[in-house]
Structure 1
Amino acid sequence: MASSSNNTYRSSSSSDGCNPCDSTVTVDERKRKRMLSNRESARRSRMRKQKHVDDLTAQINQLSNDNRQILTSLTATSQLYMKIQADNSVLTAQMAELSTRLESLNEIVNLVTTNNGGDDQIDGCGFDDRTAGTNSDGYYDDMMMGGVNHWGGSVYTNQPILANDINMY
């Protein structure tokens, strides 16, 4: 720097006779202004960078919250799906069992109706409803207390299946 100042001093003193201090002052003033301008520019750059970092941090926090909410919702939905799937499996098994029972009952009804189709029974179930519950004297016979049907078996075999008889899984 000193050599450039000296060159400035020599060139300015030899050419126009101006004060060498003035040229040094103007160079120093320009350097000082440039330094201040650079400092201000760096400060603005740091502020922009800090604002950008703060914005990114806020965005990270928001996305993390959204991610947690989605994960919570996904977990709840998965649990509900598994519960519904288990319920569906139970209902499918019950439907299969009830279908099998219905098929068996239909086979029994078909068997009874084909075996007794030409007799004088009215309902095809092995006895005449007009005489059910009466003995040969015409009095009521309590079939539930050990009455016997036409095949010599107990009347209890002709009882309906109630909803309470079905095992629910």
Structure 2
Amino acid sequence: MMSTENPVHYPFPVLEHSISPNEINDLFSMLQSQPSTHSTSSSETNRSLYSLEERKRRRMISNRESARRSRWRKKKHLENLTSEANRLNNENRELKNRLCMIAHDCHLVQRDSNRLLCESIYLQQKLTGLNQMLASAMQLIIIS
């Protein structure tokens, strides 16, 4: 397919990224419609059209690069938001676990407090009974 003739140099910039099939077709159509050298006025008209086409092509490539960068920034932003959401979910889960443990500890302390309160009431009643028995015994000693 490629001829072994000397390469033809065109005034197109060298691109550092791959060219899409549409871009290749655009380039071929521009090459096929290169200005002829037969008439000067026709040549100038074709040059201005070529220049306009070249500017359009460069703008299109620039727009594609800008869109690619924009998509990359959007992707990075989404990754950062996802990472932050995961971090916050993990922190929320840890806080819920701590709250659950503290609530459990609080329940244990309340249960112990209630048990000690009941034991205190029981001991006060027992002490009251012993005081009454002592008072009765003292009265028996005094009377006898």
**Structure 1 length as normaliser, TM-score?**
0.57
Residue in structure 1 matched with residue 55 of structure 2 by the alignment: 30
What is the alpha-carbon distance in structure 1 between the residues aligned to residue 123 and residue 56 of structure 2? Answer: 98
CA deviation profile, 1:104-158 (whole Å, cap 9, x unmatched): 1111112221332365xxxxxxxxxxxxxxxxxxxxxxxxxxxxxxxxxxxxxxx
Residue in structure 2 matched with residue 55 of structure 1 by the alignment: 80
Q: 1:74 Cα shift?
A: 1.2
Where do 5+ consecutive residues of structure 1 fail to align?
1-15, 120-169
Residue in structure 2 matched with residue 161 of structure 1 by the alignment: none
Indicate yes or no: 2:70 matched with 1:42. no
Task: Flag as ranges the 4+ runs of structure 1 deviating above 3 A.
Answer: none
What is the alpha-carbon distance in structure 1 between the residues aligned to residue 53 and residue 137 of structure 2? Answer: 123
What is the alpha-carbon distance in structure 1 between the residues aligned to residue 45 and residue 93 of structure 2? Answer: 72
Greater shift in the superposed pair: 110-119 or 46-55: 110-119
Letter in structure 1 aligned against 2:81? L
CA deviation profile, 1:42-86 (whole Å, cap 9, x unmatched): 111101100000001111111111111111111111111111111
Query: Which structure has greater helix proportion?
Result: 2
Indicate yes or no: 2:135 matched with 1:110. yes
Matches within 5 A, 1:117-136: 117=142, 119=144
What is the alpha-carbon distance in structure 1 between the residues aligned to residue 63 and residue 142 of structure 2? Answer: 113
Instruction: Tell me the SS of whatever aligns to 2:99.
Output: helix
Aligned partner of 2:114 among 76, 86, 89: 89
Residue in structure 2 matched with residue 143 of structure 1 by the alignment: none
Aligned residues: 104
What is the alpha-carbon distance in structure 2 between the residues aligned to residue 80 and residue 48 of structure 1? Answer: 48
**Identical columns (%):** 35
Indicate yes or no: 2:97 matched with 1:67. no
What is the alpha-carbon distance in structure 2 between the residues aligned to residue 76 and residue 19 of structure 1? Answer: 85
Which of the pair has more CA radius of gyration? 1
Where do 5+ consecutive residues of structure 2 fail to align?
1-39
